[in-house]
Structure 1
Amino acid sequence: MKNKITIIGSGFSAMAASCYLAKSGHEVTVYEKNASIGGRARQMKKEGFTFDMGPSWYWMPDVFERFFADFGKETTDYYELIKLSPAYRVYYGIDDFITIADNLEEIIGTFENIEKGSGILLKNFMAEAKSNYDIAIKDLVYRPGVSALELITPQTAMKVGQFFSNISKDVRKKFKNKRLIQILEFPVLFLGAKPSDTPSFYSFMNYADFGLGTWHPKTGMFDVVRAMESLATELGVKFETNANIEKIIVENKVAKAIVVNGQTIHSDVILSGADYHHTETLLDQEHRAYSEKYWDSRVFAPSSLLFYVGFNKKIDNISHHALFFDVDFYQHAKDIYDEPQWPKEPLFYANFPSITDETAAPEGMESAFFLVPLAPGISDTEALREEYFDKIIERFESLTKQSVRNNIIFKESFCKNDFVSEYNSYKGNAYGMANTLLQTAFLRPKLKSKKVNNLYFTGQLTVPGPGVPPALISGKLVSELINKQFSEQ
């Protein structure tokens, strides 16, 4: 007998779960509140320009391959990948930047040229990072966070000290050059916490960066959304958009139905890929597993101020991905995590997909988005957005030695208030809950509700954590728990 499964949201984790559950023979329907699928990975088109609205870094290609392989497919069945060369560029000042190559050998050479002796240190550091990657991404993250015992293996027992040190401390033991230190600390920002609060074991992110490289789906990250929608549809999944979930109905501590645009839809299992905190507000108070005090005490990954910009000319002296670290890296981190406020001097990231993908902008033009990491929960006004656009575009012009402001055809902003209104995101966070030591694996919110039967969760606030590859894994993990429930009935 087919079980009817309702999935709330259509982000990567929800779509991954829909594929696994449909493959297992269940009747699966995905309900998305917005007009298009993809969650935070939606696409925006305007005046001939195309923008990925959310994730823009394609790292850990092996995780994507493993996902599609679970269905007898390959990524090449759906989209083409381009390895970016260079991977990215980091700006520290005028005529002062470091270009990260697309292979480890050249990166080692770059380090050696900047700090004598650092090449061999990086080689050794990366060997350890690869070992951690093999343990974490090929094994540990595919465990559902049910018990602390999941983390205890012969391999992790040998690395127990790495869970009680941190990335920042480890990097500084080996490298002295400030710029090299920042480059090595940068990848863990994807985990949503300061390097000084991120366990050393997470150096596997450095292997994801330097070891596996930075890739780009030929026409953008939305290629992956299309691929997953295509696979899900092949497997029989149905998608409903403009479907706002108003309530989850619980009877005798069992999730029974959702209310969508005023209509009650019954289901055997309800799985939410929407914001975990928001989903619990759809339940009556007594059915919520986590209190407001709990959520307020968690360390959340940053929110973001984003600008989607169309330029009427090609931009010089830039790479597909560019990081602007010409101001105090640690002060900006402090403004996010320690004393939440708008940063006085913001670091920022710029992405120019039209350098790689000619469909991203009309001929002779450039599409770009700029991102400033911000503390979640802070004020967000149009005036502040404009003030910060002026700050970053002025520095961008100076550091890349060109005038671009008068070449802007349009710009669209997206910030904390939009994360709340568009994605019901707790405090407007952009990346979920940070992977600090006390928010890792079994210490994260559970995939299975602790108070309501037949109610499950997936996505960046639960296991394994923030990022697109972890989202795919989260969808697999929750589908396995759901299938286990049915097999035991």
Structure 2
Amino acid sequence: MTIKRSVAVIGSGFAGMAAAAVLAKNDIRVTVLEKNETTGGRARVLREAGFTFDMGPSWFWMPDVYEKFYNIFGHTTSDFYELKKLDPGFAVIFGGNEVWDIPADFEEICNLFEDTEKGAGAQLQKFIDDGALKYQIGMGEMVYKPSHSILEFMSLKLARDAFKLQVFSSFKDHVRQHFRDPRLLALMEFPVLFLGAMPKDTPAMYSLMNYAGLKQGTYYPMGGFGKVAESFLKIARSNGVNIKTSHAVEALTVSDHTIVSVRGKDMLLPTDGVIGTADYHHIESQLLPEVFRSYPESYWEKRIMAPSCLIFYLGVHKKIDRLRHHNLFFDESFEAHAEHIYKDKMWPLKPLFYVSCPSKTDESVAPDGMENIFILMPIATGLTDNDAIREEYYDKLMERLEKFAGEDIRSHVIYKKSYCVSDFVHDYNAYQGNAYGLANTLMQTAIFKPKIKSQKINNLFYAGQLTVPGPGVPPSVISGQIAAHEMLKTLKK
């Protein structure tokens, strides 16, 4: 009788569950080890006082990535949840409480641009057509490559495709070739602030994000983003994956450059391989002897991190008429806030922030007549945070939110929880308390990211937001799949 090979997956976020499911489907015995009491990673769910809060991801873009994953297992998105296209997709609040509702219909968005700046409608069409090509290339064959070396991209077709992606052009310059109005610039650059780096340091390739948001549209999984994490859990379990929560990994036992077991409190798990989807730096620096680490501490200190964030989960005992489902508060300087994150590494003086109010779409996430509110302010990684600082910013953000809403909100808050840098460190062992991984700079793209395969250990692979393809839920889903397929190649040798 053939003995099944076994793999331990560290972490139960999207990358971990995707990797585990693919391995199990290929007849590997898989054990997922999760340090927290619940699965889902950053997409965990908080249920309190009748409210259901998504603790992390709340924007559903790139539905094709999820559908492609589900199809591997003979499923489709609707098998797990109803996916609703939002209209408006989101709202942007500028100075003077000027509100732009971004329609679901792309032609209407073009009209909005044209009404704002003569010729901008046609420019948007051109910009999005270009973004669509980048999406087709970037999210097609290229994004599923493990990026071990430049040789993977050396075919004539991929070389031509890489040129079309504008990897060496600045996103800031690319946007300004098409638009001048500062409101249009802010609208086009916001995905970069929340997921990447300064626009001037981000490759123009990432205009594919604008295509995803403005042309494909913004969706919402009814029941909340936790339903998406739950679907990955269901697929993993249905394929035989063994999931152990409250099982923190404390060390990896290495023999002859090969991991032979995973150790934790009251746990010793023999294994033929490990996929680490927990924080890459934590696995390297805390679970491995120094001689087996791919990167020294000095390497990590030189990385440019995407933001961390300060989050508030609020249960409000009334409805708030002016709020939409997704609300971007761009009533202060985009450039100044970005500099405070990436250049000055300080708490922002006049921050931009984001408010999600899913109870506008989904009555199941809040008691009748109430609102479920999630407030997120991007900040630099590594900042010191404490209750006093959190309360200071709570009042600052709520003052602006109440000014926009035209009504008192604070006195109607019946549930409140904050989440910040120290929580990301405690719950996810996140390097410098990062929320989104590495910034999307040129020198941290594809082959320049931390490698998906350990450079010192034969059967250790990484997946998630600190390796390829990058930050965000869809890239993490893809990352798990890449790591699983690379592990399968190793196990067959």
TM-score range, shorter chain: over 0.9
Q: Which moved more, 1:41-50 or 1:89-98?
A: 89-98
CA shift in 2, pair 1:432/1:158, >3 Å: closer
Match of 2:267 in 1: 263
1:389-408 equivalences in 2 (<5 Å): 389-408=394-413
| Aligned with residue 178 of structure 1, among 162, 182, 193 | 182
Match of 1:382 in 2: 387
Map Cα deviations across residues 156-195 of structure 1 (whole Å, 9 max, x no partner): 5266272221111111121110000110111233542121
Match of 1:443 in 2: 448
Match of 1:481 in 2: 486
| Aligned with residue 374 of structure 2, among 369, 378, 394 | 369
| Aligned with residue 99 of structure 2, among 97, 100, 113 | 97
Task: Compute the displacement of 1:150 (Å).
Answer: 2.9
Verify: 1:154 aligned to 2:163, yes or no. Answer: no
Verify: 1:189 aligned to 2:193, yes or no. Answer: yes
Task: Compute the displacement of 1:270 (Å).
Answer: 1.1
**3-state SS of paired residue (2:94):** strand
Identity across the alignment (%): 46
1:201-216 equivalences in 2 (<5 Å): 201-216=205-220
Verify: 1:134 aligned to 2:139, yes or no. Answer: no
Contact 2:193/2:338 (8 A) holds in 1: no
Match of 1:166 in 2: 170
**3-state SS of paired residue (1:274):** coil
Q: Distance in 1 between matches of 2:137 and 2:308?
A: 30
Map Cα deviations across residues 42-93 of structure 1 (whole Å, 9 max, x no partner): 0000000010000000000000000111111111111110101100000013
Contact 1:14/1:475 (8 A) holds in 2: yes
| Aligned with residue 58 of structure 2, among 56, 59, 63 | 56
Contact 1:316/1:402 (8 A) holds in 2: no
**3-state SS of paired residue (2:436):** coil
Q: Distance in 2 between matches of 1:434 and 1:236?
A: 35
Match of 1:237 in 2: 241
1:409-448 equivalences in 2 (<5 Å): 409-448=414-453
**3-state SS of paired residue (1:188):** helix
**3-state SS of paired residue (1:163):** coil
Map Cα deviations across residues 341-362 of structure 1 (whole Å, 9 max, x no partner): 0001111000001111111100
Q: Distance in 1 between matches of 2:457 and 2:81?
A: 39
| Aligned with residue 467 of structure 1, among 456, 472, 478 | 472
Verify: 1:353 aligned to 2:358, yes or no. Answer: yes
Q: Which moved more, 1:181-190 or 1:337-346?
A: 181-190
| Aligned with residue 452 of structure 1, among 452, 457, 460 | 457
* Runs of 5+ unmatched residues, structure 2: none
| Aligned with residue 345 of structure 2, among 340, 344, 347 | 340
Q: Distance in 1 between matches of 2:35 and 2:62?
A: 29
Match of 1:8 in 2: 10
CA shift in 2, pair 1:121/1:381, >3 Å: same
**3-state SS of paired residue (1:332):** helix
Q: Distance in 2 between matches of 1:71 and 1:350?
A: 35
* Runs of 5+ unmatched residues, structure 1: none
Q: Distance in 2 between matches of 1:279 and 1:158?
A: 34
Q: Which AA in structure 2 matches 1:53?
A: M
Q: Which moved more, 1:193-202 or 1:272-281?
A: 193-202
Query: How well do the aligned residues superpose, as a CA RMSD in angstroms?
Result: 1.2
The normalised TM-score by structure 1 is: 0.98
| Aligned with residue 43 of structure 2, among 34, 41, 57 | 41
| Aligned with residue 72 of structure 1, among 65, 71, 74 | 74
Q: Distance in 2 between matches of 1:148 and 1:72?
A: 34
| Aligned with residue 249 of structure 1, among 220, 236, 253 | 253
Q: Which moved more, 1:139-148 or 1:17-26?
A: 139-148
Task: Compute the displacement of 1:155 (Å).
Answer: 5.5
Task: Compute the displacement of 1:389 (Å).
Answer: 0.4
Q: Which AA in structure 1 matches 2:94?
A: Y
Task: Compute the displacement of 1:410 (Å).
Answer: 2.0
Q: Which moved more, 1:464-473 or 1:243-252?
A: 243-252
Contact 2:310/2:421 (8 A) holds in 1: yes
Task: Compute the displacement of 1:291 (Å).
Answer: 0.7
**3-state SS of paired residue (1:346):** coil
CA shift in 2, pair 1:145/1:327, >3 Å: same
Q: Distance in 2 between matches of 1:93 and 1:203?
A: 25
Q: Distance in 2 between matches of 1:176 and 1:440?
A: 28
Verify: 1:293 aligned to 2:298, yes or no. Answer: yes
Q: Which AA in structure 1 matches 2:395?
A: D
Contact 2:194/2:378 (8 A) holds in 1: no
Contact 1:190/1:466 (8 A) holds in 2: no
Map Cα deviations across residues 273-318 of structure 1 (whole Å, 9 max, x no partner): 1000001121011111111100010011100000000000011211
Q: Distance in 1 between matches of 2:487 and 2:302?
A: 29
Q: Which moved more, 1:35-44 or 1:225-234?
A: 225-234
Q: Which moved more, 1:438-447 or 1:304-313?
A: 438-447
Task: Compute the displacement of 1:119 (Å).
Answer: 0.4
Map Cα deviations across residues 120-165 of structure 1 (whole Å, 9 max, x no partner): 0111111101011000001210111111133345365266272221
Contact 1:246/1:262 (8 A) holds in 2: no
Task: Compute the displacement of 1:204 (Å).
Answer: 0.6
**3-state SS of paired residue (2:140):** coil
**3-state SS of paired residue (2:113):** helix
Q: Which AA in structure 1 matches 2:183?
A: R
Match of 2:202 in 1: 198
CA shift in 2, pair 1:155/1:99, >3 Å: farther
Query: How many residues were matched structurally?
Result: 488
Task: Compute the displacement of 1:98 (Å).
Answer: 1.2
Q: Which AA in structure 2 matches 1:310?
A: G
Q: Distance in 1 between matches of 2:194 and 2:381?
A: 15
Contact 1:143/1:477 (8 A) holds in 2: yes
Runs of 4+ residues deviating >6 angstroms: none
Q: Distance in 2 between matches of 1:353 and 1:376?
A: 27
